[in-house]
Structure 1
Amino acid sequence: MGVEEHTQGPVATTATDGTEAATADLAAAAGEIETTASGTRYPIAPGYRVNVRTGPGTAYRIVRTLPYGQKIPIYCQKPGERVTGPYGTSNLWDNIANGQFVSDAYVYTGRDGYIAPRCD
């Protein structure tokens, strides 16, 4: 079982009619994935302020906290600690800047698994 990694926000729950409905509701509330000339940006789950850490796990130091409604770039992804969030349980961590990672369980990417190259 994963750990919760958000700093503030609603408690993730499973819908009585299935997880897909809950995930679809979160996706609609999260907004769109933005693709521009400067790259693609993915929304953080609505209602959450997510910790940004120096590595792929909750034992790594927090360097900042993303504000509500933030959209982030994902440069590469790395396996690490399993975390449970509004988009399920995942061991993927998204690199959003040099030495800065967020749990993929709090980022709406539109699918499970890797959506970016693996980090070295």
Structure 2
Amino acid sequence: MATEDIVITDATEAAETEPLAAATIRTYPLAPGHTVNVRSGPGTHYPIVRTLSAGSSVPIRCQCQGESVTGPYGSSTIWDNIANGQFVSDAYVRTGSDGYVAVKCS
């Protein structure tokens, strides 16, 4: 199974079901105290598909350029793909970097 086809909700679950995926897809925490909208594409004009609660963590499958968003971690045009058709602004994810921490989405 290709890494792009794997939807990971928990790093522990990934390690149990797909050892390679656990090594290649890292999970990152959302900014403390913030709920985050998950959108169908890399911008605020895309529909909201769900909302993540404060304290959640997300797997970053890949990252792409999109609309600039300002959040707790500054302004960013990077959007994190967390599942098939689901994106969150990197400005709300604590990756420890202002740049890419995962492969670019194709």
Q: TM-score, normalised by structure 1?
A: 0.69
Distance 1:46 1:86 in 2: 9
Residue equivalent to 1:47: 33
Shift of 1:115: 0.4
What is the alpha-carbon root mean square deviation over aligned residues? 1.5
Unpaired stretches in structure 2, ≥5 consecutive residues? 1-10, 16-21
SS at match of 2:49: strand
Residue correspondences, number = 87
**After TM superposition, where is structure 1 displaced by more than 3 Å over at least 4 residues in a row?**
none
Which of 95, 100, 106 lines up with 1:114 in the alignment? Answer: 100
Distance 2:92 2:40 in 1: 17
Separation in structure 1 between the aligned mates of residue 53 and residue 70 of structure 2, nearest angstrom:
19
Equivalent AA in structure 1 for residue 42 of structure 2: P
Shift of 1:112: 1.0
Q: Structure 2-normalised TM-score? A: 0.78
Q: Distance in 1 between matches of 2:49 and 2:95?
A: 23
1:45 shift after superposition:
0.1
Taking the aligned partners of 2:35 and 2:94, their CA distance within structure 1 comes to 14
For the pair 1:83 / 2:66, whether they are aligned, the reply is: no
Identity over aligned pairs, percent = 66
Aligned to 2:85: 99
**Structure 1 residue 40 displacement after superposition:** 1.8
- Cα deviations across residues 18-63 of structure 1 (Å, max 9, x unaligned)? xxxxxxxxxxxxxxxxx76334210000000000000000000000
